[in-house]
Chain A
Amino acid sequence: MIKNYIKTAWRNLLKNKVYSILNILGLAISLACFILIALYVVDELSYDRFHEKAERIYRINSDITMGESQSLPFTSDMMGPTMKQDYPQVEEFVRIYTSNGSKLLRKGNEFIQENRVAHADSTIFEVFTLPLIAGDPDTALKDPRSVVISESAAQKYFSSVDVLGETLETIQGTEYKITGLMQDIPSNSHFRFDFLFSMDNDIYRFGNHISHNFHTYLLLREGTTAQEIEAKFNDYMDRYVMPVAKQVLNINSRKEFEDAGNKLEYSLFPITRIHLYSDRVMEIRPGGDIQYVYIFSAVALFILLIACINFMNLSTARSAGRAREVGIRKVLGSARKQLIQQFLSEAMLMAALAMFLAVGITYLSLPAFNEIAAKTLSIQRIFQPDILVFLLVLPFLVGLLAGSYPALFLSGFKPVQVLKGNLNLGAKGGTFRNVLVVFQFATSIILIIGTIVVYQQLDYIQNKNLGFNKEQVIVVNETHVLGQQAPTFKNEVLEMTGIKNGTLSGYLPVSGSSRSDNTFSKEAVMSTESSFGMQQWIIDEDYIPTMGMELVQGRNFSKKFSTDSTAVILNESAAKIFGPGDVVGKKIYRVSNFETGELTSYEIIGVVKNFHFETLRQNIGPLGFMLGNSTGLASFKVNAANISQVLIGIEQKWESMSTGMPFSYRFMDEAFDEMYRTEQRLGKIALIFSLLAILVACLGLFGLSTFIAEKRIKEIGIRKILGASVNGLVQMLSKDFLKLVIIAFVVATPLAWYAMNQWLQDFVYRIEISWLYFAAAGFLALSIALATVSYHAVKAAMMNPAKNLRSE
C-alpha cells in the first residue's frame, strides 16, 4: 500500500513540475533557514556546558551604588579565598585577572600582541574542564613565573606541541616557564584564553576587600544551592568589607551606608547563564543575548510556517486535478483513512526531498552565515545524534503540518460529485486559503518593518551628534611600548603634513580603550551624602580639540598654568551634581590614601559638553578629565585626502622609534562601529530572513495565482469576447490577492509597532518609529505581490480567447 502511495506521489511530483518545484524549493529554503538558526541557537545555548561541574560553578557579581550605579562581574582579590576559608559549602574558588588586557610576547626578534591572556589560580583546572595535554594541572600555575598555553599558541610560537620547559618572554623582559599545554578552549565558552599566567604574582595583589578587579568563580559542594551562599554575603561584608569602608567613607555601619542611598551587593551567577543572560560591562568576552535567541527561533518557525502554508494552499487550490483520482479511489473501495494516509505520505515525501535540498543549501550558505553571525558553526554538527534525529523527524512533522489540511480537504470529496465534475473545487476552501495568505504576508511585513527599524536605529547611532567627532581620526595602538619616547612620537607626527591635531591618552569614547571609575566627593569631607562615582580620564592639553569636543564653561588645560596638574574638567552630567549655575572654581575631592582616608582636591576649570562614551543604550554618566600621562593610545586628527600616505608616514615614524614593536592602528569611526556589532549583525540577519520570508511567501502566491488564472480561463475568454480589455482583466485577476496583502498589512502594523518599540527600549537614545517605515514596508510587500500575481494575470489576459473556449 505504502509503495502505491509513494509511486503515485512521485509521479504526481513529476507530472506537475511547476507545482512541485515551488513547493519543494519553498520548503527547502525555509528548512535551510531553520537548520541554520537551529545550529545558531544550539550553539548559543551550549555555552559553558562542556565543563563537567558546570552546574555547580557560579561567578560572583557585584552591584555597587556610590552616586553612580555599577554592575560588575568582579570582586576583590580577597573575596574568593575568604569565601573558601570561611564557608565549607564552597568547595573551591578560582580567580581570573584580565584587567591588564593584552600582553606583548617575544617570538624571535619581534613582539606579538596577544589578547587572549589572563592570570589565573591553579585551581582553574580543577573547577573548569580544561584538559591538559602535557603538564600537571595541580602544580602548573603554582610557580609565580609559570604559564600554561594552548595548542594553537604552542604551534604559533614553537611550531610544535612539545613545549614543556620552554620559556615565553614579555616586553617587560619577564620570562615565564611553560608548565602546561592545554587543549584549545572551545568557542562556546565565555572565556577563551591561549595563555594562562600564574596568579601568584605580586603585581596583581591588591590585598584589600574593596578594590573590585577579579573575575571570581566559586565551585559549590554537591547539594549546596546558590541561595545558601548568597545568604552568607551580608555576613562577609560586615566582617571584611565594612571595616575598610569605614576608614575611607567615614561611616560606622552598613545601615548608615545604605541609608544614604548607597549599595554594595554580591550575587552568584551560574556560569552557564553568563553568555546569554549577563549584560554586565567588562565581561571577558562580549556575550550573546537570549532575546536574539528567541527572536531568531521565532523567525525560523515563521518562515517554516510560511512554506507549510504554501503547501496547503497549492494543494487545495489544485485539488480540481486530484479530485477525480480521489473519486475513483473511493469508488474502488478506498476508505477515507487510506486517502488521508496517501496524501500525508505525499506531503512527507515532498518534505523529505526538501530536507535533502535544505542540507545542501545549508552546507553552501554556512560560511556566509558564519561570517554574518560571527560564529564558527560547522556542517558536521548536524550529523551529531541530537540534531540528526531532529532533522530526520522534521520532514515527518512538516509533512504532517503541511499535509493534514489538504489531506482532510481532499479526502472529503464525494465521489458522485467529483466524477460528474459539478463541484466548484477551486472555490472550496477559499476562505481558509485567504486567511493563510494573510498570515504569510502579515509575517513577512512584520519582518520587513523590523528590518527597517533596526537599520534606521543603526543609521541614527552612526549619524547622531555624539559630542565628539570620530571622523578622520587615526588611533595608534599600544603606544605605551614607546615608554618615555611616546610624547616625542606624538610631537614628531604632529609636524607631518596632513596631521591637524593629536593627543596621547588611553581613554577614548569608543570601546577597546581604558576606563577608570573612582569615588569623588563634592565636599572636603568624604561622606555618604557628598560622594559620587565618576569616570576619571587622564588626558593631555590637545585631547579636547583633537576629539572635537566643545567647552561650555571655563577653559581647556594649558601648559601656561602649572596648577593644572590638580585641575579637572567635568562633563555636563558631572557638573549637574553641583546643581544649577557655574561650577568653575569649585573643588572636588578624591581619596588618595586608603589606609588613612586622606583626600586630595581638584579645582574645576571647565565643563565640556556631554559626549557619548558608552553605547547609546546607556545614559551619559558623570566624567572628569584630568591632566596626566596616559600613553596607551595616540590619536591623530587627519586633514588629508590621501590618508594612506599619512599612514605610511606614521608607520615609518613608529618603526624608527619602537625597536621592533608591531605597528597597529585603527580608525576611530570603525572602533565606534565595533560597539554596535550585535545590532549590525541583527540588522543583516533580519534583512536576509525577511527577504527569504517574502520570497517563500511569493513562491506560494505565484503558484496560487497560476491555478486561479487556470481556473478562470474560461471566464477570461468569455469576458474578452464580450470586450474586456487586457488591463481590465489584469486588474480583475490581481485585485483579490492585493486585497489580502492589504489586510495582512493592517494586521501586521500594530504587531510590528509593538515589537519594535520593545526592542528600542534597550536604547536610551533611540529613533521614533515613523509611519513612513510602515508605508515603505506595505508598499514593498504590495509591489512584490503585484509583480508576482500580474505575471499570470497578464499571461491569462493576453491569451487567445477562442483557444480557451474550444477546450471546453
Chain B
Amino acid sequence: MITIDNLEKFYRTEEVQTVALNKLSFQVKEGEFVAIMGPSGCGKSTLLNILGLLDDPDGGSFVFNGTEVSGFNERKRANLRKHNIGFVFQSFNLIDELTVFENVELPLIYTGVKTADRKTRVHEVLEKMGIMHRRNHFPQQLSGGQQQRVAVARAVVNNPKLILADEPTGNLDSSNGNEVMDLLTELNEAGTTIIMVTHSEHDAKYSHRIIRMLDGEKVTENVLV
C-alpha cells in the first residue's frame, strides 16, 4: 500500500540545514498495523505528516496505492487525503464549536456525502464507538477518553484505507488509553491499515511491526507477529 524509497526532508533556518528524514525507505502492506518509535526529534512526526499527505518530501519517492504522490500539489493531496486517510491526534483536535455529531460529520461533508446518508453513517460509527448518547454534546463536556473516541470515530467515518495515529494515547490515562488501543486493533482487524507514532512500548505491542528511528533514519525493525 505504501512504499517509500530514499525519502528525504530538510528544515532550513537562516544558517543551518537540519535533516529530518535521511534517505528513509520502508513499505507498509495493506491491512498492516505498524508502530513507529524513536526519541523526540528523530523525524517520526515529519514522516507521519508526509505519509498523511500534509507535507511534501524534499527527495525520494512515496508511492501510495500504486501512485507516486511526491510532488503532488496541495489540491491533489487534499483530494487524495480526504478519501483515503483518517487521522487521530494526541490532542484529539476536535473543533470546540461543533458537537460530537457535527465533528464526526465533517469529513463526510467535505467528501460530498448527502445529508441523509451522513446521518446514518455518523450514527453507525457513534454507535460502534459507544458514544451515541453523547452525540449532542460539545467536546469540552466530554472526558479525554471520550474525546479520543470521537476523534477515532471521525477518523474512520469515511471508511479510509489508512489511519494515521500520532500518539493517540499520549493525553489519556492507562485505562482510557487501552480502550483506544482496543478500538484501533478492532479497526485493523476489520481491514484498515494503521500507522501509529508512539512513545509507549505498551501501545507499540498492539502493532504487528515496530519501526525504530533515530536522526531521520530507520535503525531497527522488529516484527511482532
Binary contact readout A306-342 vs B (1 if CB under 8 angstroms, 0 otherwise):
0000000000000000001101111111111010000
Least CB distance, B156 to chain A, in whole angstroms:
12
A330 vs B106: C-alpha distance in the bound complex, in angstroms?
11
Determine which of A4, A8, A419 lies in contact with B93 in the assembled complex, contact meaning CB atoms within 8 Å: A419
Answer yes or no: A239 CB below 8 A from chain B CBs: no
CB of A15 within 8 Å of the partner chain: yes
Residues of B within 8 A of A725 (CB): none
Q: Which of A325, A330, A420 contacts B78 (CB 8 A)?
A: A330
| A305 and B134 alpha carbons, distance in the complex (Å) | 44
Q: How far is the CA of A475 from the CA of B20 in the complex (A)?
A: 93
Chain A residue with minimal CB distance to B45?
Answer: A420
Contact present for B97 and A11 (CB under 8 Å) = yes
Flag whether A662 is at the interface (Cβ < 8 A). no
Q: Produce 1/0 per residue, B62-94, CB < 8 A to A.
A: 000000000000110011011100010100011
Tell me if B96 counts as interface (CB < 8 A to partner A). yes
Across-interface contacts of B96 in A (CB, < 8 A) = 15, 325
A721 at the interface (CB under 8 A from B): no
- Quick one: which of B131-167 are within 8 Å of A by CB? 154
A332 near B82: Cβ-Cβ < 8 Å: yes
Chain B 100-143: CB-based contact to A (< 8 A → 1; otherwise 0): 00100011011100000000000000000000000000000000
Please, how many angstroms separate the alpha-carbon atoms of A325 and B93 in the complex? 8
Q: B50: shortest Cβ distance to chain A, in Å?
A: 10
Q: Is B55 part of the contact surface with A, judged by Cβ < 8 Å?
A: yes
Q: List chain B residues, Cβ under 8 A from A335.
A: 75, 78, 110
Partner of B54, one of A1, A7, A331: A331
Partner of A333, one of B82, B93, B98: B82
Residues of A within 8 A of B54 (CB): 331, 415-416
On chain A, the residues within 8 Å of B74 by CB distance are 336
Task: Assess the A331–B52 pair: CB atoms within 8 A.
Answer: yes
Residues of chain B with a CB closer than 8 A to A4's CB = 102, 106, 109
- B49 is an interface residue with CB less than 8 A from chain A: yes
CB-defined contacts of A325 to chain B, threshold 8 Å: 95-97
Residues of A near B95 (CB, < 8 A) are 8, 325, 328-329
A12 at the interface (CB under 8 A from B): yes
* Contact in complex: A8, B110 (CB < 8 Å): no
Query: Within the complex, what minimum Cβ distance (angstroms) separates A265 from chain B?
Result: 70
Q: Which residues of A contact B98 (CB under 8 A)?
A: 7-8, 11
CB nearest neighbor in B for A9: B97
- CA separation between A8 and B49, bound complex, in Å? 27
The chain A residue with its CB closest to the CB of B115 is A3
Q: Which residues of A contact B109 (CB under 8 A)?
A: 1, 4
Do B107 and A416 touch across chains, with their CB atoms under 8 A apart? Answer: no
Q: Is the CB of A334 within 8 A of B97?
A: no
- Chain A: minimal CB distance from B130 (Å): 22
A333 touches B111 (CB 8 A): yes
Assess the A332–B97 pair: CB atoms within 8 A: no
List, in ascending order, chain A residues with CB within 8 A of B102's CB.
Answer: 4, 7
Residues 2-53 (chain B) with a chain A CB within 8 angstroms: 45, 49, 52
Chain A residues, CB < 8 A from B107: 332-333
How many angstroms between the C-alpha atoms of A1 and B111 in the bound complex? 11
With both beta carbons as reference points, the residue of chain A lying nearest to B166 in the complex is identified as A419
| Residue of A whose beta carbon sits closest to that of B154 | A332
Q: Is there an interface contact between B49 and A416, defined as CB atoms closer than 8 Å?
A: yes
Contacts of B79 in A (CB 8 A): 333
Name the residue on B nearest A325 (C-beta).
B95
Give complex CA distance A727, B106 in Å. 48
For the complex, what is the distance from the CA of A416 to the CA of B54, rounded to whole Å?
Answer: 6
- With a cutoff of 8 Å between Cβ atoms, the chain A residues found around residue B55 in the complex are 416
The complex places the Cα of A327 from the Cα of B106 at a distance, in Å, of 13
Tell me if B52 and A332 are in contact (CB < 8 A): no
CB distance from B60 to the nearest CB of A (A): 18
Which residues on the A side are within 8 Å of B106 (C-beta)?
4, 329, 332
Most buried by A among B49, B79, B97, B110: B97
B78 and A419 contacting across the interface, CB-CB below 8 Å: no
Q: In the complex, what residues of B have CB within 8 A of residue A1's CB? A: 109
Q: How far is the CA of A1 from the CA of B106 in the complex (A)?
A: 9
State the CA gap A334–B109 with chains docked (Å).
9
Is there contact, CB below 8 Å, between B93 and A328? yes
Chain B: CB-nearest residue to A13: B97
Interface residues of A in 250-295 (CB under 8 A from B): none
Q: Report the minimal beta-carbon distance from A315 to chain B, rounded to whole angstroms.
A: 15
Known: A7-B102, A416-B49, A419-B89. A333 touches B97 (CB 8 A): no
Who on chain B is nearest to A4 by CB? B109
The B190-212 residues at the A interface (CB cut-off 8 A) are none
The one of A15, A334, A415, A420 in contact with B110, judged by C-beta atoms closer than 8 angstroms, is A334
Decide: A324 and B93 in contact? CB cutoff 8 A: yes
Cα distance A324–B95 in the bound complex, in angstroms:
8
Hey, which chain A residues are within 8 Å of B87, CB to CB?
331-332
A327 contacts B93, C-beta separation under 8 Å = yes
**Chain A residues whose C-beta falls within 8 Å of the C-beta of B49 in the assembled complex:** 416
Nearest CB of chain A from residue B28's CB, rounded to whole Å = 20
A11, A12, A328, A415, most chain B CB atoms within 10 A? A328
- The CA of A8 and the CA of B94, in the complex, are separated in Å by 13
CB distance from B54 to the nearest CB of A (A): 5
Q: How far is the CA of A42 from the CA of B52 in the complex (A)?
A: 58
Nearest B residue (CB) for A8: B97
Contact with B along A1-31 (1 / 0, CB 8 A): 1001001100110010000000000000000
Q: Closest CB of chain B to A39's CB: distance in Å?
A: 38
Contact (A333, B45) CB under 8 Å given A15-B96, A325-B97, A328-B95: no
- Beta-carbon contacts under 8 Å, A331-355 to B: 331-336, 338
Q: In the complex, A331→B55 CA distance in Å?
A: 11
Per-residue interface assignment for chain A, residues 623 to 652, with 1 indicating a CB less than 8 Å from any chain B CB and 0 otherwise: 000000000000000000000000000000
- Set of chain A residues within 8 Å of B81, measured between Cβ atoms: 331, 333
* A331: chain B residues within 8 A (beta carbon): 52, 54, 81, 87, 93
Q: How far in angstroms is the closest Cβ of chain A from B53?
A: 10
Q: How far, in whole Å, are A736 and B14 apart by their CA atoms in the complex?
A: 27
Name the residue on A nearest B55 (C-beta): A416
Measured between beta carbons, the chain A residues less than 8 angstroms from B78 are 330, 333-335
Rounded to whole Å, the gap between the CB of A756 and the closest CB of chain B is 48
Distance A567 CA – B154 CA, assembled complex (angstroms): 104
Among A1, A11, A327, A332, residue most surrounded by chain B Cβ atoms (within 10 Å): A332
| Chain A 49-86 near chain B by CB (<8 Å), digits 1 or 0 | 00000000000000000000000000000000000000
Shortest beta-carbon distance from A329 to chain B in Å: 7
Nearest residue in A to B107 (C-beta to C-beta)?
A332
Q: A8-B98, A334-B110 are in contact. List 12 more A-B contacts (CB 8 A).
A: A1-B109, A4-B102, A4-B106, A12-B97, A15-B97, A327-B93, A329-B106, A331-B93, A332-B154, A333-B78, A333-B107, A335-B78
- Identify the 3 closest CB pairs spanning chains A and B, nearest first: A333-B82, A333-B110, A11-B97
A-B pairs with beta carbons under 8 Å apart, 16 shown:
A4-B102, A7-B97, A8-B97, A8-B98, A324-B93, A329-B95, A329-B110, A331-B52, A332-B107, A332-B110, A333-B78, A333-B81, A333-B110, A335-B78, A338-B110, A419-B93
Chain A residues within 8 Å of B, Cβ to Cβ? 1, 4, 7-8, 11-12, 15, 324-325, 327-336, 338, 415-416, 419-420
